[in-house]
Structure 1
């Protein structure tokens, strides 16, 4: 935002003042939005927790000692705590959905091209998208309508229909057939999270939907995502990472090095895997209206565990498996809505994500609204922060 302190969570920019606004900020302001604050995130958004060396760690509103998730953790925490009604987030591996889950709010990863991005070296990449967060599905739909637009500088954008997503929420109809999966074949789901997610999914049966526990074969999704994200990062930030290795988080160098070790044959193989996965998913949606999974496999963990190390027995996996439901769905380019599903016995939030067919945000939002109503969880009141859990 022009004129505001903009650090990217990096000590190199701790005194930086933005000289211009992101095109999305300008678009929103032209449509009546008022920017009232900026929020915390990890360095350049590259960790699944909102912790950096400029401002420290951000907690979930539900427990002062537990993380808000990341990278858009400051935004989700502000929404969940009642500081703001709406917030912007980004998602390249779960950066919008992880904090939505950990802070008990609603967030949507739109289809690539739905929300315009600033010009960049990775303009044709469908991995990174921007989207809205709020405390209700209706407010997310309102904000997504404000964000959606065609932009000449973003090659993935298309012309949009004003008010389409709010209309989808108003006219919501239950799915005819909907599927559930606890994971994408990599495990890593806490039993209490699984039970709460499955109970939420069962609500669709009471709406008259046929429900089934099944999913497409995601294959080597861990290897696929690792190759795609490292190549994506090499395209965008290789020179910066090389010049500042001793001054920035290790994750930047790790991604650049991984990309450089990858052969052209491995990159080509990843592109074939992604195409095959997309085809399997499209075929799956010929029979099902949506796929529901836990948004992440764990509850908010200690906020001093930077990057999620030591969260569970899958710690140290690359990429970390505790949020593989997030990064494992990124290569699909489908719209995905994260929505609160309930709370653990300790009072920590649990979330499910509704994966809809390509460019069918209207379905994700409609089904999310129906689930929100069926669950009856609080959406309109600020969450009062509690002590340590």
Structure 2
């Protein structure tokens, strides 16, 4: 079982397909590993192994040869606790929904289960996914396996921690302002924010919103590509959702081209960055030159990206959560209240100005990608920090006036609507992982995965996980 846990998702799926291991045996391995590590990391606080074993029993009656080429064949996966799984506790990290049981599954979950994924539990998240630190009043605090005094970030912190600790081979996350990418950076795994509508999900109260996206998290780039293949495809419940690509993301990694010129920005022209993180990412960008025609230190004009993000995020919060504030203010954490009230103060002019600014920004991004293949940047301004702090308040003498501004590095790229991946690129002197963001043109997840894989193949960072949780003396 220990050997199975250490294998990649791609390797394990190969064993399932050949019949050398059964879904039930993998569930045993996952359940054992969760039992060994979850007290230390609290990554998957809600388990559903009875449901999972019933699913495994159905799969074990089938013949693998009768299944589609792209299939998971009974691989255990984790689903973030912002996404419903029928019959499983669904808290969204909020005391308001502490006892809620999902009456249906999100269409993304249905698709993953139809394609051979077995849900073993719900990974932890901050309340309604708000914030870059994974804690809530219902299910407690998730810690980082690299140092359990530290946070895995958020909001997909439970998913990242579960992967780094070897509890599952693949974990679904979601990303609004870096919720996939920051946890990936903090835990030494890979997290991909796809283009909006690449992964269909729903039914949703705001089905036309393009800001929050669902995406794959894994321990390496090929596994991330596999999971994105399993997630992709249009669905009528998610309007404007994109069809699956003609060439699978897994197949796109078989031939990595020589790239054109690539841009690197140490700060996106805006963000204070911890010096050690900056040095590690700068070295990674220098290494990237071997895969392309050259790396230039430059950046598209993102001068108003954080303001656009903050305004449109506040608009999303008031649209989604205003009824909860009216009925359950006493049960909401201060950061959620702040964001809803920020949305309530917006005027039509504020929203219109942000939308116009985002449109102009996107045109600048299109022009940028006519000259450069990718944009590289740090995935987070700091390495993992103590989970006793709710958020990062200051870096390099710059103090932040709200709980989201320390996440500006990933959030500024959110407003471009382009796919962005965080891939491990080094470690601090104290042994903490650091991630590099790679952004490509809209809807070109294949190119982003190729770039990440080109880098990953020449570095051993992906081989460092899974690890046993490290608890300081």
2:225 aligned residue: 141
2:368 aligned residue: 284
Q: Is the 8 A contact 2:263 2:299 kept in 1?
A: yes
2:410 aligned with 1:343: no
Q: Following superposition of structure 1 onto structure 2, how do residues 214-225 of structure 1 map, counting pairs within 5 Å?
A: 214-225=298-309
Separation in structure 2 between the aligned mates of residue 167 and residue 198 of structure 1, nearest angstrom:
30
Name structure 2 gaps, 5 residues minimum.
1-84
Secondary structure in 2 aligned to 1:198?
A: helix
2:274 aligned residue: 190
1:82 aligned residue: 166
Q: Is the 8 A contact 1:242 1:253 kept in 2?
A: no
Separation in structure 2 between the aligned mates of residue 321 and residue 259 of structure 1, nearest angstrom:
16
Q: CA deviation at 1:161?
A: 2.8
* Structure with more relative contact order (C-alpha pairs < 8 Å, separation 6 or more): 1
2:333 aligned with 1:249: yes
Q: CA deviation at 1:162?
A: 5.8
Q: Deviations over 1:277-335 (max 9, x none)?
A: 10001100000000000001100000011133456644433363332111111111100
Q: Is the 8 A contact 2:174 2:214 kept in 1?
A: yes
Secondary structure in 1 aligned to 2:96?
A: helix
2:194 aligned residue: 110
Q: Is the 8 A contact 1:314 1:322 kept in 2?
A: no
Separation in structure 1 between the aligned mates of residue 97 and residue 345 of structure 2, nearest angstrom:
30
2:296 aligned with 1:296: no
Q: Is the 8 A contact 2:191 2:421 kept in 1?
A: yes
2:447 aligned with 1:366: no
- Give the direction of change, closer, same or farther, for the CA distance of 1:162–1:208 in structure 2 (3 Å limit): closer
Secondary structure in 2 aligned to 1:63?
A: coil
TM-score when normalising by structure 1: 0.96
- TM-align CA RMSD: 1.6
2:410 aligned with 1:326: yes
2:429 aligned with 1:354: no
- Give the direction of change, closer, same or farther, for the CA distance of 1:336–1:29 in structure 2 (3 Å limit): same
Q: Is the 8 A contact 1:40 1:50 kept in 2?
A: yes
- Give the direction of change, closer, same or farther, for the CA distance of 1:200–1:39 in structure 2 (3 Å limit): same
Secondary structure in 1 aligned to 2:149?
A: strand
1:29 aligned residue: 113
Q: Is the 8 A contact 1:105 1:133 kept in 2?
A: yes
1:160 aligned residue: 244
Larger Rg: 2
May I ask how many residue pairs the two structures share in their alignment?
Answer: 389
TM-score when normalising by structure 2: 0.79
Name structure 1 gaps, 5 residues minimum.
none
2:323 aligned residue: 239
Q: CA deviation at 1:336?
A: 0.3
Separation in structure 2 between the aligned mates of residue 312 and residue 376 of structure 1, nearest angstrom:
30
1:122 aligned residue: 206
1:179 aligned residue: 263
